[in-house]
Chains A and B, each alone.
Chain A
Amino acid sequence: MSMKLKALLKSAWVFHLSTGSCNNCDIEILDCLTPRFDIERFGMLLVGSIKHADVLLITGSGNRKSMERAKRLYEQIPKPCLVVAVGECALSRGMFIHSYNCPVPIDKVIPVDVYIPGCPPKPEAIIAGVVKLIEKVKKGTEKKSSV
Chain B
Amino acid sequence: MIYIFYFLFYGFFLTAIIGLLASWIDRKVTARIQYRVGPPLLQPLIDIVKLLGKETLIPAGSSKITFLMAPIIGLASVILVSTLLWINNINPAKSFLGDLIVVLYFLVIPSVSIIMGGFASRNPLASLGASREMKLVLSYELPFILAMLVTVIKSGFTFRLGEILAFQAQNGALVRSWSGVLALIVAIICMQAKLALVPFDIPEAETEISGGVLIEYSGSGLAIYKLMKNMLLFTLPFFLIIVFIGGLRFDGIHLLYGVLKYISLVALMTVIRNTNPRVRIDQVVKFFWGPMTIIAIIAVVLALLGR
Contacts and interface: CB of A to CB of B under 8 A. Distances in A.
Given A38-B36, A41-B38, A51 B46 contact: no
B38 A40 contact: yes
Interface of B: 27, 31, 34-40, 43, 46-47, 49-50, 53-57, 206-207, 210-211, 214-219, 222
Contact of A51 (B35, B50, B53, B218): B218
Nearest to B59: A51
A79 B206 CA distance: 23
Contact of A78 (B27, B43, B54, B207): B54
Given A35-B34, A51-B215, A43 B47 contact: yes
Nearest to A40: B39
B55 A78 contact: yes
Contacts of B57: 51, 76, 78
User: Residue among A3, A10, A80 with the most chain B CB within 10 A?
Assistant: A10
Contacts of A52: 211, 214, 217-218, 222
Nearest to B27: A40
A43 B40 contact: yes
Interface string A73-102: 000101110000000000000000000000
A52 B39 CA distance: 18
Given A35-B35, A35-B36, A49-B211, A54 B49 contact: no
Interface of A: 3-4, 7-8, 10-11, 35, 38, 40-41, 43, 47-49, 51-52, 54, 76, 78-80
A48 B210 contact: yes
A48 B206 contact: yes
A11 B55 contact: no
5 contacts: A3-B53, A48-B210, A51-B57, A76-B57, A78-B57
A78 B57 CA distance: 7
Contact of A43 (B34, B39, B211, B216): B39
Contacts of A49: 210-211, 214-216
Contacts, number: 78
A43 B43 contact: yes
Contacts of A43: 39-40, 43, 46-47
B114 to A, nearest CB: 15
Given A35-B34, A43-B39, 5 more contacts: A7-B49, A35-B36, A48-B207, A78-B54, A80-B55
A124 B38 CA distance: 18
Q: Identify the 7 closest CB pairs spanning chains A and B, nearest first.
A: A48-B210, A4-B53, A7-B50, A51-B218, A78-B55, A35-B35, A78-B218
B53 A7 contact: yes
Given A41-B37, A49-B215, A78-B56, A8 B50 contact: yes
Contacts of A78: 54-57, 218-219
B216 A3 contact: no
A53 to B, nearest CB: 9
B219 A40 contact: no
Contacts of A4: 49-50, 53
A54 B211 CA distance: 16
Contacts of A79: 54-55
Contacts of B53: 3-4, 7-8, 80
A94 B289 CA distance: 57
B274 to A, nearest CB: 14
A51 B216 contact: yes
Contacts of A8: 50, 53-54
User: Residue among B50, B56, B211, B218 with the most chain A CB within 10 A?
Assistant: B50
